[in-house]
Amino acid sequence: MLSFSKTIALISLLFFFAGILYHYFVTRKLKLPPDFARPKGSWKVGVLYSFTFGMMPWAKESTRKHWLAYLRGVAFHIGIFTGLFTLALSFFINQFNETVNLIFALIVGFGALMGFAGIVMRIVERNLREISTLDDFISVALVSISLAFIALALIEPAFKIPMYLVSAIMLFYAPLGKVRHCLYFFFSRFFFGLHLGKRGIVHRFTEVSYGK
């Protein structure tokens, strides 16, 4: 049963990568709207800012005023990256060092808790509730449940079978649902930086970001 569940998870992982590649090439083919304004700065500087200082919590009003929500999101995504890394390694390594298992379990488990907290926030907080869709809840729930089982499997190997099965469902759904924003994130940051750089307003945004 373990080999079967691992195979199902591996197939879903391959489907996930195939789906992300499909969305990547489809997005690459989309044409940007024509920009008739004369460039006033370097787009490279804008893109560099977008992927560095532009991602700092003080660079946006929404994060400057909601540090707890920002930190929850950071912890959730750290848990996701660690969980996926652990899941990928599990296809080649049966057992990790006991200390490594504990560290990874704590990080992934805490990430799962932050994911469930995000679901509660979407239900309780009126503004979040109004803009949330069914896909939002399904995506966050699947990722959070998957992280929870990965954390449990790191502590108790008996949870490996449900870990692979739940992760398989999550990975299969990822390219079909909102989880695929892991790809669109890079496109959106690039276009944002491109606009700032060509307009020559990166310096002004930097000053605003630091409250100068």
CATH number at residue 203: 1.20.950
pLDDT at res. 151 = 94
User: Residue 72: inside a domain, yes or no?
Assistant: yes
| 209 touches 56 (CB < 8 A) | yes
Residue of higher predicted confidence among 93 and 150: 150
Residue 76 in any domain: the answer is yes
- Whole-number average pLDDT of the chain: 83
Residue 18 and residue 160 in contact, taking contact as beta carbons nearer than 8 Å: no
Domain annotation covers residue 164: yes
User: DSSP string spanning 82-106?
Assistant: HHHHHHHHHTT-S---HHHHHHHHH
Three-state SS for 23? helix
pTM of this structure: 0.78
Residues 6+ apart with CB under 8 A from 126: none
Say if 17 falls within a structural domain: yes
When pLDDT is cut at 50, 70 and 90, the band that residue 82 belongs to is very high
Question: Does some domain include residue 35?
Answer: no
Q: Could you tell me the residue range of the domain that residue 166 belongs to?
A: 2-29+42-209
Number of structural domains (the chain) is 1
List Cβ neighbours of 156 (8 Å cut-off, separation of 6 or more): none
Does any domain span residue 74? yes
pLDDT of residue 208: 44
Residue 118 and residue 145 in contact, taking contact as beta carbons nearer than 8 Å: no
Quick check: 160 and 5 in contact, CB under 8 A? Answer: yes
